[in-house]
Amino acid sequence: MKQVSDRCYLFVNAFKHSTDAVLITDTEGTIIEVNQAFCDLFGWEHDEVIGKTPGILRAPQTSDAFYARMWQAIETKGMWKGEIVNKKKDGSLITVLLSITPIIQDGKKVGYMSIDIDLTEQIRLKQRAEHAERLAVIGKMAAKIAHEIRNPLASISLNAEILDDELKADEIDKEEAHTLLKAIIGEVDRLTHLTHDYLQFSKMSVINTSAIEINTFIKELIHFTNNEARQHKARLRFNPGKPLMVTVDENQLRVVLLNLIRNSLEAMENGGEIEIFIEEKEETFEIHIRDNGPGIPPEIRESIFQPFFSSKDLGTGLGLAISKQIINAHNGAIQLANSEGRGAHFIISLPLS
């Protein structure tokens, strides 16, 4: 009996003095106990939370569907674990690693226990590392900009001088003047494209999310790019799934998808087909973009997301780097799938909420 009492005392002390926030509810979701770390993390007094529900921690942006999937996982798998944004008593938000497990006694479920681990410091360290990496890349980018801009400027200067001579002539060759002017405009457009990519990459991605129906979003995107695809003798194919509401920055996601689609169109010199489809997972959804072009050679597959890497003669090498940056800011991932020589197949994985 003493051994049982000692173990109970040990468990109670472990609960009380844990540095992670621990919350215990009954089977109806009513809070019956919290430890001091919970009170310190979320700003509540112990007696204020007893009798309430964990809904006091719910952040406004966390959807009903997210919680439904969470509880479905708990009931079917016996636990749930993942990152979530919670709300403190003062209304401020905090990102935590949350795990929820049922409490079983004599073979019967008697409640639930959740453990919240504060991720603030880990997020801060990650941001510092990303900032240091970005500074290093920006230093490299400055040298790259000088190199990339030199040729278009030289071309503009040369064509402008020739055009000036042409305009001073007694008889102006309009066709020659038009050709020179067209060349100047082309180089200006190239500079505009270069500076746009560099500026976009140099900025930290700021994500402004909203709820959208992803199938409708992609159908509208395909409608927008259909003419461009036809010019490349290519076809865009999308098989919509069931309606799926997701939370993304639709403008930034559009940039990523357009970049991948245009890369495929440029790769398929003799036309082809680009297939887009969606797969829903437990906590994420995936957007697949797959073409039947020549594919990406194995020797460069590891390099395609690196800044300034490009297999194109006039590419900035920032398209996929920007895409990766945007998806990372969504807490997602982008990868090149192994398509075994049957074209390129990119997979974007994003949180459902």
Same domain, 225 and 340: yes
Same domain, 168 and 293: no
Same domain, 196 and 216: no
Q: Where are the alpha helices (DSSP H) in the chain?
A: 2-17, 36-42, 46-49, 64-77, 120-168, 174-202, 214-231, 250-267, 319-329
**Total structural domains in the chain?**
3
Angle value at C-alpha 164, between 161 and 167, nearest 5 degrees: 155
- Which segment, 38-52, 266-280, 293-307, is predicted with the most confidence on average? 38-52
Same domain, 280 and 182: no
| Residue 310 belongs to domain with CATH number | 3.30.565.10
Same domain, 197 and 297: no
Please indicate whether residue 32 or residue 169 has the higher confidence score (pLDDT). Answer: 32
Least confidently predicted of 166-180, 190-204, 215-229, 293-307: 190-204
**Domain termination residue (choose one: 118, 151, 180):** 118
- Write out the residue range of the structural domain in which residue 49 sits: 2-118
Same domain, 86 and 129: no
pLDDT of 349 higher than 90 = yes
Q: SS3 of 172, please?
A: coil
What is the DSSP secondary-structure string of 237-290? EE---S--EEEE-HHHHHHHHHHHHHHHHHH-TT-EEEEEEEEE-SSEEEEEEE
pTM over 0.75: no
pLDDT digits (tens, 9 = 90+) for 225-269: 998 889 889 999 998 888 999 989 999 999 899 999 998 998 888
**Domain termination residue (choose one: 186, 202, 218):** 202
| Residue 70 belongs to domain with CATH number | 3.30.450.20
